Chains A and B, each alone.
Chain A
Amino acid sequence: GAGVSQSPSNKVTEKGKDVELRCDPISGHTALYWYRQSLGQGLEFLIYFQGNSAPDKSGLPSDRFSAERTGGSVSTLTIQRTQQEDSAVYLCASSLVSSGGANQETQYFGPGTRLLVL
């Protein structure tokens, strides 16, 4: 079936503008994750959604960052008043969380959105 998709693929914005990044998880996957990959650094966890539970927002770097997941499927990551240090690749992943099956714990990633803040 279709994998995780993200849009846009690339986004260039001016400092101070708001941006929205979209993620479509694999159909049926109950968990969705956002990570940030900055140049020369590893991946940094941002936020995690699981079903109807409250999201784990512990990785969001500031209150300029927020995310929502509508209908348990599509997610939008919003960055308000963007700064140059927000420039990075934003990766989304999804997984199927249930009581059994080791493979269901594996996170499958989208191609990412490369954000450049000028």
Chain B
Amino acid sequence: AQTVTQSQPEMSVQEAETVTLSCTYDTSESDYYLFWYKQPPSRQMILVIRQEAYKQQNATENRFSVNFQKAAKSFSLKISDSQLGDAAMYFCAYRSLGNRKLIWGLGTSLAVNP
């Protein structure tokens, strides 16, 4: 069975600085999807970025980028120029090609200090 591990329960970053959140996963599959979701206090889970495992190029969405290391089964999220609005829980999730349910890590709580 697939598992997702986020080893950092809490992180903090100074406004305008860069922070990297870690995520590792375990799978025997060769093709899958990986996601980072953000959950602010409003509870709404918001998609930050996604990566298809067959793509070697790291996904980027504005200030958010990933470092996808398929062999190491690592999928870290880098947030550049951190803003106060980035403060939230961040969840890493895995999805098989043939099974649409998401498998989640336990999350990392990110604080952004002014």
Contact = CB atoms under 8 A, between A and B. Distances in A.
Asked whether A and B interact, the reply is: yes
Nearest to B105: A42
A95 to B, nearest CB: 7
Contacts of A102: 50, 52
* Chief secondary structure at chain B's binding surface: strand
Interface in A48-70: 48, 50, 56, 58-59
Nearest to A91: B45
Contacts of A95: 100
Interface stretch (A17-25, A74-82, A109-117): A109-117
Interface string A96-107: 010000100111
A55 B4 CA distance: 24
B107 A31 contact: no
A33 B107 contact: no
Interface in A10-47: 31, 33, 35, 41-45
B64 interface: no
Interface in B82-114: 91, 93, 95, 99-107
Contacts of B62: none
Given A33-B100, A43-B102, A111 B50 contact: no
A110 B44 contact: yes
B47 interface: yes
B45 A50 contact: no
A93 B45 contact: yes
Nearest to B4: A42
Contact of A42 (B33, B47, B107): B107
Nearest to A103: B50
A97 B98 CA distance: 12
A33 B50 contact: no
A44 B44 CA distance: 16
Interface of A: 31, 33, 35, 41-45, 48, 50, 56, 58-59, 89, 91, 93, 95, 97, 102, 105-112, 114
- Nearest first, the 6 closest Cβ-Cβ pairs linking A and B are A109-B45, A42-B104, A45-B101, A43-B104, A42-B106, A112-B43
